[in-house]
Chain A
């Protein structure tokens, strides 16, 4: 019986195993490689809308370029597998012309490993289509490695307006206000701020906020650190980390946040167990869809006391398009033409517009209108600075994530935390890291 089952299953499977042949194409085919399933046009829109708009945009490009037979867009895989998928595609010699390049891995990994072409000169004629701050996210050492094609985010606190009204609380403006609000919430039996601390990459966002205020110009200071002209152990850096710990010690941020995941945080907020949470404006679609039992609102990260700087929320364009450094001579002009096409305001209006953006990396795109959107645009966006983790090498970013966990958990001091980060940096330099390379 065993034998029969073996043989049957073998034969059955073998007959099914025919591998479909790939149809030959006439003319040039442009290959767009998406390291993750999100690296496609309008990725944050619902699937069917996304597919339709992507088809429409590509058809427009093909109509304009009769010598291009087709655009093959291969975007798959999980978010944290992007670097691996790109690595294996590279090792396999897979054809890639344009690469969908999220800002984070582009800065942390792709450019340093030489995967991307320096396109500064290729895009020079139409570079003014982009918001300068957004283009910065793809500029390293003065050279541009990609075009930002994305909604632009900023960061905010989201809170339960009904609950605040019920307890007679106002949106906190200063840090001291926030302490008072947290105390009142705690008194009433609510967790003041529950953060998604299990998602380690969210922790540096708190550091961007505190660093902007303790350093004044946190971007410049970070670059100095990375050039070796200053240290992560300098007083303003240590202070920025210490201030995060302060949030926990003063009863604002719940220490238990460390093990809460994204859905846990949102669930606690939606079910009115926590009153406030912190996040990027990418939270808006989820809140609008799922917070149904009460009214919610936004307020800015508070102004800290006794610091030289003012508010600076982390923000920027999430994704963009780059050109593979191994692109063939034949494919290069087509790849550049495709980037140019995608970044035209009227085309961007289609693929960015479907994501209902608050703001976009390309000028002249329709943005969403609502009270909250206006509030965010007029109050939060002017105080927005580039995410520091788009400047840090990945190793430094990871060191920050760990150190902040240590501070929040109360297991290390700010000095120890920053010293561990400096150690990681020294190690990188020891291995040949240089900011300007």
Chain B
């Protein structure tokens, strides 16, 4: 291999104008686009934090700018009014458990659908796909009746299974796609070495499917964390409720406490962003450094 010493070049945008533009200019263009795109996605976050530190009058008279005074008290009040202490705990428990159940159950099923041949496979997959196309708004009241009949209304377990169950189809679908895009040679080697399917799945396939698992975890985790409607109808006892149900406390019949609402949102959104940063390093970077060198 004559080129082995050469550093592999990451794939970039097509340099259609490479003849005319120097690399430096191209890089400048890339940065310009990225910076513009970033400003319009990151400013809302600042806007939220600005809002959380304003007085009401400041918010209404100075909509877009930074706060004129720093009202840290907003955070204290928001924490108390939304009862965030208990609710953050509930949200963490419910989100973590739902993701755990969802990821374990759906990844195993998705793997079977992606790799194994068995009678009924196609039919099961089509049914799963079809259930994704029914708007959840239609099934929510019937689902309520099912949950009531099972006697798991008003419990964290109930909501965990509702979340995991209703996200199952999406997750299976997504993971199946990721499993299918993984080259199966490694699995075949492990199978030849005498490992069984579950072992292959656990030790060989799952580590390779990290981007897929991360995508499901991020997408569904965000959904569970922010989910309002299902939590609203399935958890009726205040002590068991999640964050979004507490955020309702800032809205009154004829007004809303936007500054406190922003303070509460800042407190619950920023940890999510930190988590995402951690996860994306772990999953996406981990992958490129690791296994796929077929």
Interface of A toward B, CB cutoff 8 Å:
2-3, 6, 9-10, 12-14, 16-17, 19-20, 37-38, 43-44, 47, 74, 76-79, 81, 84-85, 87-89, 91-94, 262-263, 266-267, 270-271, 280, 282-283, 285-286, 289-290, 292-293, 318
Dominant secondary structure of chain B at its interface with chain A: helix
Distance of B230 from chain A, by nearest CB (Å): 11
A77→B254 contact, CB < 8 A: no
Chain A positions within 8 Å of B56 at CB level: 289-290
Most buried by B among A37, A74, A89: A37
Residues of B within 8 A of A94 (CB): 236
Docked-complex contact B206 and A270, CB < 8 angstroms: no
Known A-B contacts: A47-B81, A88-B233, A267-B61. Give 19 more (CB < 8 A). A3-B202, A12-B96, A13-B100, A37-B248, A38-B252, A44-B254, A47-B249, A78-B248, A85-B233, A88-B236, A89-B236, A94-B236, A263-B258, A266-B60, A267-B60, A271-B63, A282-B254, A283-B254, A289-B57
Most chain-A Cβ atoms within 10 A of its Cβ — which of B56, B213, B233? B233
Which residues of B114-166 have CB atoms within 8 Å of chain A's CB atoms? 141, 144-145, 148, 153, 155-157
Given that A13-B96, A78-B251, A91-B148 are contacting pairs, would A263 and B60 also be in contact in the complex, using a CB cutoff of 8 Å?
yes
Interchain CA distance A20-B206 in the complex, whole Å: 37
Question: B239 in the interface, Cβ–Cβ < 8 Å?
Answer: yes
Closest beta carbon of chain B to A144's beta carbon, Å: 23
**The one of A10, A19, A76, A262 that contacts B100, using a Cβ cutoff of 8 Å:** A10
What is the CA–CA distance of A74 and B92 in the complex, to the nearest angstrom? 24
Q: From the candidates A16, A47, A88, name the one contacting B144 in the complex (CB within 8 A).
A: A88
Contact of A263 among B100, B155, B206, B256 (CB under 8 A): B256
On chain A, the residues within 8 Å of B63 by CB distance are: 267, 271
Contact code string B220-261 (vs A, CB < 8 Å = 1, else 0): 000000000000110010111000010011011111101000
When the two chains form their complex, are residues B61 and A91 in contact, meaning their CB atoms are under 8 A apart? Answer: no
In the complex, what residue of chain A is closest to B202 when comparing beta carbons?
A3
The reply to whether A286 and B255 form a contact with Cβ atoms under 8 Å apart is yes
The contact sample of 6 A-B pairs, CB cut-off 8 A, is A19-B155, A19-B240, A88-B141, A262-B255, A262-B256, A285-B255
How many A-B Cβ pairs are below 8 Å? 109
A17, A43, A85: the one within 8 Å of B253 (CB): A43
Task: Indicate if the CB atoms of B93 and A270 lie closer than 8 Å.
Answer: no
In angstroms, how far is the closest chain B Cβ from the Cβ of A90?
11
With CB as the reference atom, state the residue of chain B lying closest to A272: B61
Q: Which 3 A-B pairs have the closest CB atoms?
A: A282-B254, A267-B60, A13-B97
User: Quick one: which of B207, B238, B253 contacts A79, CB cutoff 8 A?
Assistant: B253
CA distance A88 to B233 in the complex (A): 7
Contacts of A286 in B (CB 8 A): 254-255
Q: Is B104 an interface residue (CB 8 A)?
A: yes
Query: Is B184 among interface residues, defined by CB-CB distance under 8 A?
Result: no
Q: Whole-angstrom distance between the alpha carbons of A212 and B88 in the complex?
A: 50
Please provide the chain B residues from 59 to 85 with a CB less than 8 Å away from any CB of chain A in the complex.
Answer: 59-63, 81
Taking the complex as formed, is B89 at the interface, i.e. its CB lies under 8 A from any CB of chain A?
yes
Encode contact with A along B38-67: 1 for CB under 8 Å, 0 otherwise. 000000000000000000110111110000
| A318 x B97 contact (CB < 8 A) | no
A79 CB contacts on chain B under 8 angstroms: 251, 253
- Complex alpha-carbon distance, A6 and B102, angstroms: 11
CA distance A78 to B238 in the complex (A): 14
- CB-CB < 8 A to A89: which residues of B? 236
B157 CB contacts on chain A under 8 angstroms = 17, 19
In the bound complex, do residue B104 and residue A6 qualify as a contact, i.e. CB atoms below 8 Å apart?
A: yes
Closest A residue, CB atoms, query B81: A47
Q: What are the residues of chain A within 8 A of B104 when measuring CB–CB?
A: 6
Given contacts A19-B156, A85-B232, contact A77 B248 (CB under 8 A): yes
CA distance A270 to B60 in the complex (A): 7
Q: Whose C-beta in chain B lies nearest to the C-beta of A291?
A: B57
CB-based contact B248/A17 at 8 Å: no
Q: How far is the CA of A84 from the CA of B233 in the complex (A)?
A: 8
Whether B60 lies near A10 (C-beta < 8 A) is no
Report the nearest B residue to A264, measured CB to CB. Answer: B63
Task: Name the A residues within 8 Å of B59 (CB-CB).
Answer: 267
A38–B207 touching, CB < 8 Å: no
Once bound together, how far apart are the Cα atoms of A263 and B63, in whole Å?
10
- Option from A12, A76, A292 in Cβ contact (under 8 Å) with B238: A76
Contact A290 B57 (CB under 8 A): yes
A290 CA / B59 CA spacing, docked (Å): 10
Which residues of the other chain, A, contact B258 by a CB distance below 8 angstroms?
Answer: 263
A37-B93 contact given A94-B236, A271-B60, CB 8 Å threshold = no
A77 touches B232 (CB 8 A): yes
Interface flag for B113 (CB, 8 Å): no
| Proximity string of chain B (254-275) to chain A, C-beta cutoff 8 Å, 1 when within and 0 when not | 1110100000000000000000
Looking across the interface, which residue of chain A has its beta carbon closest to that of B147? A92
Q: Is B168 an interface residue (CB 8 A)?
A: no
Central interface residue in A10, A47, A76, A81, by most chain B CB within 10 Å: A76
Within 8 Å CB of A44, what residues of B? 252-254
CB distance from B93 to the nearest CB of A (A): 5
